[in-house]
Structure 1
């Protein structure tokens, strides 16, 4: 079930009042919201509801046993078992065909014939997100940072429909305490919720879909048939498309959760205004960045060892992050590019003099750093978006070899959408707060009018139909 559809609107108009009506009685509300979340998930394929339920039961049983066990060796064995189940689930559905095809290719090089066959396994929507949340739950229990809750509450945490299929990745300590007690409808920040939903819809339905259909899909499908200018603008357009698509989804998710009385963590913070790759990852998909830091980078050793060990840990973390995004070597290369850039930036910082560090805070250096960072990120997006290495190299080669050719896809609308997508990230933070404050002071009729106008503009400017969200495939 997609957010910007009439089906979801009907679903939410039923769930919202029933959620608040049952909220004073948690033992009624929790089964209701789990059922609603399972209906939401089953709309795509009802069979995978059993997968979600099995994942819930598996992690709850093992997390409770880990917490209660007093024998360290037993706790560690249970943790390994829990992780093996989650990684095995993710590995089978997401990576089986990838590893089989990669193994076949390697065996072919050395003259071997492996008896392996592809299965064309259907990837369950959101499996990467809810398995990462489940891993957080059992690891936090193992570390003694969070006591496992009841099965009923954990089922709400893992299946809660606003974050279920594409995040944000919410930690147990961020959501489960909110599930413990009924929410107060008088404390719901409706102005922020409606602002996030309206802007999220505009980013997804208008900006992302327009750029995808107008230039991105055509150029990436056949880069050799397009001019260098179209290639360059398509790369910029994809950078805006993926930002508008994913941040738009999470804005809607956060807004919907707010209307239900729940706070989700922020997931994006003007990533294309970043002054370094490290800064980019503090702003882009922030819940995933923190997850990789706390559950991969720090367990690998973080920056506690030698400089070389730190560079290795950065690279391994980003390679895993790349592979998490998709079962293809292009995603691994994308992660490797970011890992290499993070290691290089750290190496530079370790050798930077105090005077040099001071100079880099001036306006000229800050803007130079933003431009370099943005273009590095855009270059890496080529591998992320391309279907193969061949397609990625065609994009890069065509970027330099076909200047002066006609560029009919570079239209005023495309350039305007790119400018809006990037320029909006440089708006002062006080502007959205001011708009939300003014909206909240409007009478109910005025608020309804503003929302109706926003939805009408989005509907008129948006293309016919709604494309799936990019991050659904991850």
Structure 2
């Protein structure tokens, strides 16, 4: 079920109404939201609800076993078992087909052809996100940062809560689960926040991202040889805008929906293209993922405790594994290598200190943005050959314009301007909206939906991060 659809609108209207009627009955409300979340997930394929349930059961049992034991060896074994099961399932669905195809190609190359089974594995939507939440839950219990919940419904709802289930943000149990034990209150400010974030998210996705994709990005990446070097460069800029609007738009909608249900999610994007260094970029882009990689990968690898060489190694491995997380392809590996290498170069040269203010910051923003865009070429290209061809065609230096239109340039500029508006624009906007009162907010929201539907291109495109 996609957010910008009539089906989801009707679904959420029912969930919103019934959940607030149950606001005085905590257990009933949580159970209802859990059933609604499974219905939302099962709308694609009900069989994958079993995987979601299995994930919750393993996390629940593992959490209780870890929390109830004082034997550190036993706790480690249980933690390892849960993490291996979670990553094993994630690895099977995301990478089994890739490894089987690679093995078949290797046998052909060395003259040892084998009849290997053909695996056509359907990737469950959102498996990476609910797997990461499950892992963070049991790791936090092992670290004694939280206690295991005795309520299976609470844990299952934490893992499957529908606003962020399929594409994040990745929510921590320590932040979300205590909210389940308090009586929800829908203030005017939360309502204003919810309405505003849903509208801005829909505008980013349905208008900016979809127009950039359908009118330009898809065309230049499908046949880069038909575009000039200038148009290919603009194609990368357009994709930078598209992926930001697509993914941050989803996060905005998810956070807004949660707010309308009485729950607070942290911001997941914070104007990332205004960053003056790669280090700053990763504090602004997909914040919940970068914090997860820091807390559950970089720090366990040793963080910055292993000296200079150890720190650089851990940075590189974290970004490399972050690239592999996005998919089983060399393009994602190279994307991770670029980011890992750039972070190391920044530390070696001290560039992040030189770009904190003045002219240095302007140069840092431009340099960082273009490093990110260079990496986006590999992220977007369907294979390594097309990515290298794309780069080679850019280097030809041709400047003809046949595909690029003023409308596309306007969309790219709109995305760019949004990165440099005052930092608290979102907060000020939903505060102003909340001052309209309940009826005024509802009317403004309805009008906004109609305008977005009117100006958006026809059709419903899936969000980019659904594939991860």
Query: Within 1, Cα distance between the matches of 2:32 and 2:463?
Result: 27
- Aligned partners of 1:126 and 1:165 also within 8 Å: yes
Instruction: Show CA shifts across 1:255-288 (max 9, x none).
Output: 0000000001110000000000111100000000
> 2:295 maps to what in 1?
294
- Secondary structure of the structure 2 residue equivalent to 1:463: coil
Q: Which residue of 1 aligns with 2:390?
A: 395
Query: 8 Å contact 2:40–2:162 — kept in the other structure?
Result: yes
Secondary structure of 1:189's aligned partner: helix
| 1:214/1:409 contact within 8 Å kept | no
Q: CA deviation at 1:115?
A: 5.8
Query: Which 5+ residue runs of structure 2 have no aligned equivalent?
Result: none
Is 1:154 paired with 2:149?
Answer: no
The 8 Å contact of residues 197 and 256 in structure 2, kept in 1 or not, is answered as yes
| 1:472 aligned onto 2:466 | yes
The answer to whether the 8 A contact 2:188-2:438 is kept is no
Find out whether 1:338 has 2:329 as its counterpart: no
TM-score by length of 1: 0.95
Matching residue within 378, 381, 388 for 1:386: 381
Tell me the distance in 1 between the aligned counterparts of 2:99 and 2:72: 34
SS of alignment partner, residue 214 of structure 1 = helix
Alignment of 1:236-255 (within 5 A): 236-255=237-256
> Where does residue 61 of structure 2 map in the other structure?
61
Equivalences for 1:67-466 in 2 at 5 Å?
Answer: 67-113=67-113, 116-149=116-149, 150-186=151-187, 189-349=190-350, 357=353, 360-401=355-396, 403-405=398-400, 407-466=401-460
Partner Cα separation in structure 1 for residue 44 and residue 147 of structure 2:
33
How far apart are residue 192 of structure 1 and its match? 1.2
Q: CA deviation at 1:109?
A: 4.7
Q: For the residues of structure 2 that align with 1:442 and 1:208, how far apart are their CA atoms?
A: 29
- Counterparts of 1:402 and 1:43 in 2: how far apart (Å)? 48
The Cα offsets for residues 136-189 of structure 1, whole Å up to 9 and x where unpaired, read as 011111111111112110011001000100000001101011112221234761
Question: What's the TM-score, normalizing by structure 2?
Answer: 0.96
How far off its partner does 1:114 sit? 5.6
Q: Report if aligned partners of 1:188, 1:258 keep a CA contact under 8 Å in 2.
A: no
Q: Determine the C-alpha separation between the residues in 1 that align with 2:169 and 2:313.
A: 27
**Residues 69 and 434 of structure 1: CA distance in aligned 2, closer, same or farther (over 3 Å):** closer
Verify the 8 A CA contact 1:188 1:259 in the aligned structure 2. Answer: no
Following superposition, the deviation at residue 377 of structure 1 comes to: 0.3
CA offsets 1:35-83 (integer angstroms, 9 cap, x no match): 0000000111111011101111011111110111221111111111101
Structure 1: 5+ residue stretches without partners: none
CA distance, structure 2, for counterparts of residue 268 and residue 431 of structure 1: 13
Shift of 1:399: 0.9
Q: What's the offset of the Cα at 1:201?
A: 0.4
Cα displacement (A) at 1:431: 3.3
Question: Aligned pairs, how many?
Answer: 467
Query: What is the CA-CA distance between 1:110 and the residue it aligns to?
Result: 4.8
Cα distance, 1:290–1:154 mapped onto 2, change above 3 Å = same
- Distance 1:107-1:316 versus aligned 2 partners, 3 A rule: farther
Does the 8 Å contact 2:141/2:147 carry over to 1? yes
Deviation beyond 6 Å, 4+ runs, structure 1: none
- Deviation of 1:343 (Å): 1.1
| Aligned twin of 1:40 | 40
What RMSD in Å do the two structures reach over aligned CA positions? 1.6
Partner Cα separation in structure 1 for residue 403 and residue 43 of structure 2: 36
The range that moved more, 367-376 or 216-225, is 216-225
The equivalent of 2:17 in structure 1 is 17
